[in-house]
Amino acid sequence: MDLLRFITAGSVDDGKSTLIGRLLYDSKNILIDQLEALERSTKNRTDGSVDLALLTDGLRAEREQGITIDIAYRYFSTPKRKFIIADAPGHVQYTRNMITGASNANLIIILIDARQGVVEQTRRHSIIASLLKIRHIVVAINKMDLVEYSQDIFNNIAIEYSEVAKQLDLKDVTYVPISALNGDNIVERSENMNWYEGKPLLEFLEDIRIDDDINLTDARFQVQYVIRPQTEELHDYRGYAGKVISGIYKKGDKVKILPQNIDTTISKLEVGGTERDDVFAPQAVVIQLSDDIDISRGDSIVKMENPPQITNELEVLLCWMGDKPLQPGNRYLLQHNSRLVRAVVRNIEYKLDVNTLQQRPVDESVKLNEVVKATIKTAASLAYDSYEKLNENGSAVLIDETSNSTVAAVMFQ
Amino acid sequence: MQQYHLDYLEQLESESIHIFREVAAQFEKPALLFSGGKDSITLVHLAKKAFAPGKIPFRLMHIDTGHNFPEALAFRDWLVNEVNATLVVRKVEDTIRQRNLTEPKGKFASRNWLQTYTLLDAIDEFKFDCCIGGGRRDEEKARAKERIFSVRDEFGQWNPKLQRPEIWNIYNGRIHKGENVRVFPISNWTELDVWNYIRKEKIDLPSIYFAHERDVIEHEGQLLAVSEFIHLDDTDVVVKKKVRYRTVGDMTCTAAVESDAITLDEVINEITSTRISERGETRIDDKVTEAAMEDRKKNGYF
């Protein structure tokens, strides 16, 4: 059994909460007491039906204000897969949340109301999916029951969306006509849409191949923590603990320590205290080296024949997440996995309109939820890859040292 | 390429170990909140693996309400010795005395609420800058929205509106003096994931997780163990039943379930076929209000 992480994008009006509720409900991941609570809250409804959207109802603080504050995580599983849903609010002001939820997702479900077709929000969600390089896209065309399960309407929306996908270079796009409210094509194939030849949504989510999402070619590893027991029997033990970001490491591999640029050899590999001949992404491992080198948190161990790029001046796409605007020239801390360096944002080239993809000149400051192309200068070198090539070694956050807030998501170009 | 593939439990384990190492590297003085329940036992197991062959580089802390199951306490001491960790215990009873608090009254007088005082005092006493907890997002609504690294102010309060974006696998644990961070390494695990992992890794558990005979009373459909901590009245009928616990908390607020499951396989089978959630079945304190956990979190609870 493996693990699929996905994000749902869409607003309440598109039936996003109902869809999630339906997935949990129909896959029998809703339990009796949760259902009772649901029925209690639904008592006031006149038609007596259960409101599945309430299953994903949030905090009291949110209910009181009638808004969704933050991303919520939901879990369900079938005999084939465990699923983690990042349920992100859809409104324009929540680009920050959507990026948070989308950053770890294998797949995104973009909901479209069959009566509305592709709208501005659809474009925005798709643009963010393309910026974050989410590999698999499912366009769920919802509320088919309200358009008489019309194949023509479904086809027209699919054609309309394929233009968006083409423009954004989204490759793996699948279209599913559904009614989350009635359960059409969610778990069971819908009797109302015999013209649809694809899989129901859940079956599609269970079957989609995600093995290739993990890069096993370019070996990348960053030291998180140095293990030095300094006990009598482990007096000289020095192990570099970290996660294999990508690729495979083998005992005896010739490796390079970056940014120091020192060559050495892997002498021992361990996972959870057990020795291994090889380790691979995304395992959490301990590497021992044959030479005594000064290595600390944030340093990279990579294979000699396939190193990443090294620089202290980065071209980046940056999504601003701070409440206070970005001040060009201000100093921030840049955290690239476990590596923390001082950084300055320079040369903001243009602002990217997340509704249209248009590049606009930067007239004033960069505000919350805005995406810009910029240059970042760092106080020490980073061993990095482009985000396009290797998400996890091509991304970082900026931290405001005075507030300690995470103020930007950064993608290296 | 099948040989280079992690199944879902291995992926969850790897993510949790990564989080543990970030904690050890980013904080000066973290502590692992240990309750004696299966989630915190799983945390200790993960921490052991994260830092092997070294020792776990932080202390375990038990906030002791004084209402524990004796089996859980005995297990706690055994485990601490087994993994060669340092345990600190701070007692709610001492807090009540020192701070002149009012001992809760009633049939199932629970000190659950008061743990927050003891926890915040202990954080202050030891200058802990990070507390690692076994909270899981599948448990209830408030937890579903909390970050893995959750910053708390000096009153221990959680502010859902001021959460830091947590992007990719980058964790920002920077704080100002007086603040602390609660870290939940098994946020993405479900109850069943924890049980399956316990089976896979052959992790030892306190005996009360398996079916045994016990004197219980029935209260609003739930079975409560007879102990010195609950007050029986004339209407209570004490019966001997074969039960096990699905969660281990205080004897005053943790309900047992009837069961014949004496092996881990049998327990997992029962849980898989149960149609009631963990908190709904076994925690009598969460029933008070729907927003009970949200309120407690905001006030500095785990």
Q: Which helix (H) or strand (E) holds A275?
A: strand A274-276
Specify the pairing of strand A72-77 against strand A81-87: antiparallel
pLDDT reported for residue B74: 94
Compute the average pLDDT of residues A168-179.
95
Averaged pLDDT of chain A: 90
Record the tokens describing residue A377, joined without a space: 């200068």
Cis amide prior to A282 (ω within 30 degrees): yes
- The CA-based diameter of chain A, rounded to the nearest angstrom, is 76
CA distance A229 to B17: 18
The residue behind tokens 């995104």 is: A108
Q: Residue A64 is inside which H or E element, if any?
A: helix A60-65
Q: Check A282 against B167: CB less than 8 A apart.
A: no
Judge whether B154 is closer than 8 Å to chain A, CB to CB.
no
> For residue B222, what pLDDT is reported?
85
3-class secondary-structure state, position A309: strand
Instruction: Identify the pLDDT of residue A159.
Output: 97
CA distance A58 to B146: 12
The residue of B51, B149, B170, B277 whose CB has the most chain A CBs within 10 angstroms, and thus the best one to mutate to test that interface, is B170
Q: What is the pTM of this model?
A: 0.93
- Does B290 have pLDDT greater than 70? no
Cβ-count burial A135-151 (b if 16+ within 10 Å, e if not): bbbbbbbbbbbebebee
Q: Does B53 sit behind a cis peptide bond, omega within 30 degrees of 0 on the bond before it?
A: yes
Q: Is the pLDDT of residue B140 over 90?
A: no
* Spatial separation of the C-alpha atoms in residues B300 and B302, rounded to whole Å: 6
Report residue A49 as tokens.
Answer: 């039906």
pLDDT (average), residues A369-389: 95
- A368 in Cβ contact with A383 (< 8 Å): no
Chain A contact for B192, CB < 8 A?
yes
Tell me the per-residue pLDDT of B12-31, one tens digit each, with 9 for 90 and over.
Answer: 999 999 999 999 999 999 99
Indicate which of B2, B7, B21, B190 best probes the interface with A, i.e. most A CBs within 10 Å of its own CB. Answer: B21
CA distance A41 to chain B (A): 11
**Which domains does chain A show, CATH number per domain?**
2-213 (3.40.50.300), 220-303 (2.40.30.10), 309-412 (2.40.30.10)
Q: Does B294 reach chain A within 8 Å, measured CB to CB?
A: yes
SS3 A395: strand
Q: Which two tokens stand for residue B270?
A: 């029962």
Residue B142 pLDDT level (bands cut at 50, 70, 90): confident
Separation between Cα atoms, residue B168 and residue A380, nearest integer Å: 22
pLDDT of residue A90: 65
Task: With beta carbons less than 8 A apart as the criterion, state whether A283 and A271 touch.
Answer: yes
* Model confidence band, residue B288 (pLDDT cutoffs 50, 70, 90): very low
Q: Which residues contact A16 (CB under 8 A, 6 or more apart)?
A: A8, A9, A10, A87, A90, A111
Q: Which residue has the tokens 């339990």?
A: A31
Interchain proximity B14–A71, CB inside 8 Å:
no
Q: What is the mean pLDDT of chain B?
A: 88
Q: Which of A38, A283, A299 should one mutate to test binding to chain B, selecting the residue with the greatest count of B CBs within 10 A?
A: A283
- Record: contact A104-B54, CB cut-off 8 A: no
**Which chain B positions have a beta carbon within 8 Å of A100's beta carbon?**
165-167
Please state which of the ranges A287-291, B1-5, B75-79, B263-267 shows the lowest mean pLDDT. B1-5
User: How many whole angstroms separate alpha carbon B213 and alpha carbon B200?
Assistant: 27
Main-chain dihedrals φ then ψ at residue B230, nearest 5 degrees = -115, 150
Q: How far apart are the first and last CA of chain A?
A: 35
Residue A377 vs residue A66, higher pLDDT: A377
ipTM above 0.85, yes or no: yes
Q: What is the DSSP string of B103-167?
A: PP-STT---TTTHHHHHHHHHHHHT-SEEE----TTS-HHHHT--SEEEE-TT----GGGPPP--
Other Cβ atoms closer than 10 A to B30: 22
Per-residue pLDDT of B216-255, as tens digits, reads 888 888 888 888 887 888 888 899 999 999 888 888 888 8
Please report the pLDDT score of residue A46 as a whole number.
Answer: 52
pLDDT of residue B1: 46
pLDDT of A365 above 90: no
Residue A152 CB coordination number (10 Å): 9
β-strand partners of A262: A257
Determine the Cα–Cα distance for residues B36 and B251; give it in Å rounded to an integer.
13
Q: Which residue has the higher pLDDT, A333 or A1?
A: A333
* Tally of residues, chain A: 413
Instruction: For residue B203, give both structure tokens.
Output: 């992790």
Lowest mean pLDDT across A22-31, A151-160, B216-225 = A22-31
**A109-135: pLDDT as tens digits:** 999 999 999 998 899 899 999 999 999
Instruction: Tell me, yes or no, if B22 comes closer than 8 A to chain A by beta carbon.
Output: yes
Q: What is the pLDDT of residues B102-137, one digit of tens each?
A: 887 777 777 777 888 899 999 999 999 999 999 999
Task: Let me know: does A289 contact A240? Beta carbons within 8 Å.
Answer: yes
CA-to-CA distance for A81 and A95, rounded, in angstroms? Answer: 29
Q: Are A313 and A198 in contact (CB under 8 A)?
A: no
| pLDDT given for residue A22 in this prediction | 87
| Residue where the block lists tokens 């205290």 | A273
Q: What are residue B183's DSSP bridge partners?
A: B132, B149
User: Alpha helix (H) ranges present in chain B?
Assistant: 8-26, 38-51, 70-82, 92-98, 115-126, 141-144, 191-201, 264-273, 278-282, 292-298
Listed residue (A62, A130, A24) closest to A357, CA to CA:
A130
- List, as ranges, residues 80-139 from A with C-beta within 8 Å of B: 81-82, 84, 96-97, 99-100, 103-104
**Token reading at A191:** 């009797």
pLDDT at A31: 66
Q: Which two tokens stand for residue A244?
A: 């294999």
Tokens, residue A122: 């659809």
Sheet with B130-132, strands from edge to edge, namely B87-91, B59-64, B30-33, B130-132, B180-183, B149-152
Q: Which of A207-221, A239-253, B140-154 has the least mean pLDDT?
A: B140-154
DSSP characters over B231-248: ---TT---EEEEEEESS-
Q: How do strand B130-132 and strand B30-33 relate by DSSP bridges? A: parallel
Q: Write out the two tokens for B157.
A: 């309060």
Interval A10-19 mean pLDDT: 78
- Give mean pLDDT, residues B81-104: 90
CA dihedral B81, B42, B259, A28 (to 10 degrees): 180
Domains of chain B: 2-194+291-298 (3.40.50.620), 207-286 (no CATH)
3-state secondary structure of B12: helix
